[in-house]
A = this chain, B = another copy of it.
Amino acid sequence: MPILDLLMGRPLANWEEHGEQVGPSAGIPIFGLDALSSAAYGPEAALTLLIPLGLLGVQYIIPVVGAIVVLLIIVYFSYCQTIEAYPQGGGSYTVASENLGPHVGLLAAAALMIDYVLTAAVGISAGVGALVSALPKLQPHTLGLCLLILFLLSFVNMRGVRDTGVAFLIPTYLFLGSLLIVILLGIYHVITTGGHPVPVMPVPRLPAATATLTLWLLAKVFASGCTAMTGVEAVSNGVMAFREPVTRNAKRTLTIIIALLIVLLMGIAYMCQAYGIGATNPEGPAYQSVLSQLTIAVAGRGVFYYVTIASILLVLSLSANTAFADFPRLTRAVALNDYLPHLFAIRGRRLLYSAGVYGLVFLTAGLLILFRGVTDRLIPLYAIGAFLAFTLSQSGMVMHWKRKGGPGWQWKILVNGVGATATGLTLLVVLVAKFAAGAWVTALLVPLLIMVMSLVKSHYARVDSQTQDDSPLDMSDVRPPFVIVPLDRWSRITEKGMRFALALSHDVQAVHIDCGEHNEALEATWQRNVIAPVKAAGLPAPELVIVQSPYRVIILPLVDHVLKMEQQYKNRTIAVLVPELVVKHWWENLMHNQRAQLLKLLLLVKGNQSIVVLNIPWYLQE
């Protein structure tokens, strides 16, 4: 498999786990991309809703972003405590399950799964949105570009955690560098012009106001802006991916991410207000993202502009990667508790939970196709899952400290309690503000997912109750099976089968299905080639049973005969021997009836605990 190895990387052994662990410098691209890239769409989502207010609307962006930053700081402290308490990975699912019971855990799992799928979809479509702003000619290909990036991302991710971090290092730091330069340059312009900066190149004018601010609109703007907070839980969920000292590395990574995010959010809000830059209609032909306008205003449409836009595109697309890092870990944790197929708990060749990666790609692609790849349509669906998970996680932590105590537990309860309350209230605002716009889909999907997971659990419980066993092997009544050998004509294949049957048991019965052809010859052959040598060897002679089949079907009378024998020999294992010709090339199968396959299948379907199938292959030589 050298090509596979080249593309996907060689398989990793269990003991190479350690080499796959990361520190803060790689941790930021892996777990921080989602949070950091939110800077590119959070403010934009808020500004889009402010379009009807015209230039006045832009003035509201600073207080809105300010509120979000306050919330962010609360959540930050709250998650620092979670990381400390759950060094093995304290995703909302784990925390909620352990502290609030399995049902609440499922609620968190469902919310997070939806959140991650939306993270991937929103990230990619926002990246493509940035690209389309720079090259409007590409707009008709939006969906195609989205799917292409999804494919590339999943490909990189299949190489494992470490390779992914390395691959994303440069775009991440380029993005941070460019945006910080834009912000610093903007502040410099503002200062040098005494607070009235003139754009280097003209930016689209804001349309005239057509509405005034209401509390309802403000709630919707805040709810949209809150998408900037998604991705904050990623670090606490993936703690175990960090190298020793695990807790310190994880907390340091989270601190850097949150600090950078606050700087970006506040910087963008300030620039927008200073330059009077608002959002443009994302579905209109003249769509241009807020960051694109800001960069043009501050630095013109030169090389720097294209570098910045490219890095935004890259990082937005790559922000989907946080979902790739966390979704498989989440589904694995859920699968370990029997709420998802066990497949999700199996590590693939690069130590990844591959089924989770495939699941994520499948769902994200579906979503992108459904929404034709336009970010804005996805945002209403988005924040619900994230804030539900936040709230449950923080509430779980409150219960955790209450149960566990420890030094300063009251303070810890306070921090997590404030976090839970703040995110819970935000959840309510988002739910109400966005319900009609699409949040109802999430509200519908969550119970559906919980139902599916409960069904999976009950299936596994049923399997366990029926197969679990710690009793010793029952050695009573261990005796050879009653062996049935289907016989078409005497051949070396049949001979091999009969030899095997006679090696297993003294009770052997050959069955021939007669469609109205040569019988006497077969019976003579049987006497000569079977009965005689078996008797000579001193064994009891096997029986030849001929079953008439006037309608020329072979398999059904055979299966019926087996079932009849099973009735006759109660408490005895009936072993049906199926001789099978194995050919070298697939097309050779066309030359032979597939009765062996059909017989095996029917015996499995119509059979019962007493019937087993012995498959005796005969290999055809070249």
Contacts and interface: CB of A to CB of B under 8 A. Distances in A.
Interface of A: 11-15, 341-343, 346-349, 456, 459-460, 462-463, 466-475, 478-481, 490-496, 498-500, 502-504, 515-516, 525, 528-530, 532-534, 536-537, 539, 550-553, 573, 575, 580-582, 588, 590-593, 600, 604-605, 607-609, 611-621
B460 A591 contact: yes
A571 to B, nearest CB: 13
Given A347-B552, A504-B480, A617-B611, A537 B593 contact: no
B474 A492 contact: no
A556 to B, nearest CB: 11
A612 B617 contact: yes
A500 B611 CA distance: 11
A528 B618 contact: no
A178 to B, nearest CB: 41
25 contacts: A11-B551, A12-B551, A14-B552, A341-B591, A342-B592, A342-B593, A343-B593, A346-B593, A456-B591, A459-B588, A460-B591, A469-B490, A472-B530, A475-B499, A475-B537, A478-B499, A480-B504, A575-B614, A604-B615, A607-B619, A609-B618, A612-B616, A612-B617, A613-B614, A614-B614
A478 B490 contact: no
A472 B515 CA distance: 25
B469 A491 contact: yes
A13 B550 contact: yes
Contact of A467 (B342, B470, B618): B618
Contacts of A342: 591-593
Contact of A459 (B478, B502, B591): B591
Contacts of A605: 582
Can you tell how many copies of this chain the complex includes? 2
A614 to B, nearest CB: 5
Contacts of A473: 495, 498-499, 502, 529-530, 533-534
A486 to B, nearest CB: 15
B615 A478 contact: no
Given A490-B469, A492-B466, A615 B600 contact: yes
Q: Which 5 A-B pairs have the closest CB atoms?
A: A13-B550, A475-B537, A469-B492, A14-B516, A613-B615
Contact of A533 (B12, B472, B609): B472
A530 B471 CA distance: 10
A343 to B, nearest CB: 6
Contacts of A493: 467
Looking at A480, A573, A612, the one whose CB has the most chain B CB atoms below 10 A away is: A612
Contacts of A462: 620-621
A559 to B, nearest CB: 14
Contacts of A615: 600, 604, 612-615
Contact of A529 (B11, B471, B537, B600): B471
Contact of A468 (B346, B492, B516): B492
Contacts of A459: 588, 591
Nearest to A471: B529
A11 B478 CA distance: 44
Nearest to A577: B612
Given A609-B496, A617-B612, A552 B491 contact: no
A600 to B, nearest CB: 7
B550 A15 contact: yes
A478 B503 contact: yes
B474 A502 contact: no
B617 A614 contact: no
Nearest to A537: B475
Given A593-B342, A604-B582, A615-B613, A573 B500 contact: yes
Contact of A490 (B348, B470, B475, B582): B470
Contacts of A529: 470-473
Contacts of A515: 14
A606 to B, nearest CB: 11
Contacts of A534: 473, 475
A616 B215 CA distance: 68
Given A525-B470, A551-B13, A478 B537 contact: yes
Contacts of A582: 604-605
A89 B413 CA distance: 95
A605 B619 CA distance: 9
A537 B478 CA distance: 10
A480 B468 contact: no
Nearest to A493: B467
